[in-house]
Amino acid sequence: MALPKLAVAKYELTLPSTGKKVEYRPFLVKEEKILLTAQATGEDADMLRAVEQIIENCTFGELKVGELPFFDIEYVFIKLRSKSIGEVATVKVLCPDDKETRVEVDINLDDVECVREVSHNAEVKLTDDIGLTLEYPRIDAIAAMTKVTDGEAGFAIVKGCISQIYDKENVYAKSDMDSKELDEFIDSLSHKQFEKIQEFFDTMPKVKHSVKVKNPNTGIESEVVVEGMQNFF
């Protein structure tokens, strides 16, 4: 005799990148097992794979997670966590006035949004004749960052996000670029040119939420911005 099947609640969210409506369900025990197994290894790459698998499971296979901008993944995972474990997450934030005291604050995950800067632009002009177009980092680019040193991580993410390079006469698609040739192109950038590229990452959409904290040691109240999936848990 077959055992009874438990009903699972369904919810809907809107992807920040496209505005697409996506149906999802909360974590089940099988997803919590995936998450706990990844946490036990302490490896960032394992956690990313777990997040990818959980999102695919909980959105009924509707999302191709590997093709999503990473801020979409962060947003979806936060909404999943909200409906699975609880809307409120307790996090420790650093008080900006003394930069050493950490205070616990409660954040309602339903209030967390993906914020886009008005000045954001994917096209970067390096010179009058040469420029490039960037795409948002995906989970594979973030995973690649975990395999390099902190000093190399910024260059690795830039390399992974260059979509095309162009000059007056030609457009060079990423698929046509040799890895070594691309490394040499990045190495030839000036400091100011690299800063222009960095601005793309600084202003791209981010999952963030502002909270007010009071330093118990100084009595000073400050506003702190919590951003990035890892900082909400």
From residue 110, how far is each of 13, 76, 86 by CA, in Å? Answer: 11, 11, 10
pLDDT of residue 167: 94
Query: Same domain, yes or no, for 23 and 104?
Result: yes
Q: Minimal CA–CA distance to 137: which of 118, 116, 163, 115?
A: 163
pLDDT in tens, 52-92: 999 999 999 889 999 999 999 999 999 999 999 889 999 99
What is the pLDDT, as a whole number, of residue 227? 87
Mark whether 147 and 106 lie in a shared domain. no
Same domain, 35 and 145: no
Two tokens, residue 188: 């030839």
CB of 222 closer than 8 Å to CB of 95: yes
Per DSSP, the three-state class of 12 is strand
| pLDDT in 10s for each residue of the chain, 233 residues | 788 888 889 999 999 999 999 999 999 999 999 989 998 988 888 899 999 999 999 999 889 999 999 999 999 999 999 999 889 999 999 999 999 999 999 999 999 999 888 889 999 999 999 999 999 999 988 887 776 666 677 788 899 899 999 999 999 998 888 889 999 999 999 999 999 999 999 999 999 999 999 999 999 999 999 988 776 66
Q: Is 108 in the same domain as 212?
A: yes
Q: At what angle do helices 150-161 and 191-203 cross, to 10 degrees?
A: 80
**This prediction's pTM:** 0.87
- Asked if the structure places residue 6 within a domain, the reply is no
129 & 43 share domain: no
Task: Please indicate, yes or no, whether residues 65 and 148 belong to a single structural domain of this protein.
Answer: no
How many angstroms separate the CA atoms of 11 and 76, rounded? Answer: 12
Q: Collapse the DSSP code of 166 into the 3-class scheme (helix H, G, I; strand E, B; otherwise coil) and give the result.
A: strand
Domain shared by 85 and 130, yes or no: no
Total number of domains constituting the chain: 2
| CA 123 – CA 135 distance, rounded (Å) | 9
Q: State the residue range of the domain holding 138.
A: 123-203
| Co-location of 127 and 159 in the same domain | yes
What is the greatest pairwise CA distance in the chain?
A: 74
Q: Are residues 25 and 93 in the same domain?
A: yes
pLDDT at 2: 84
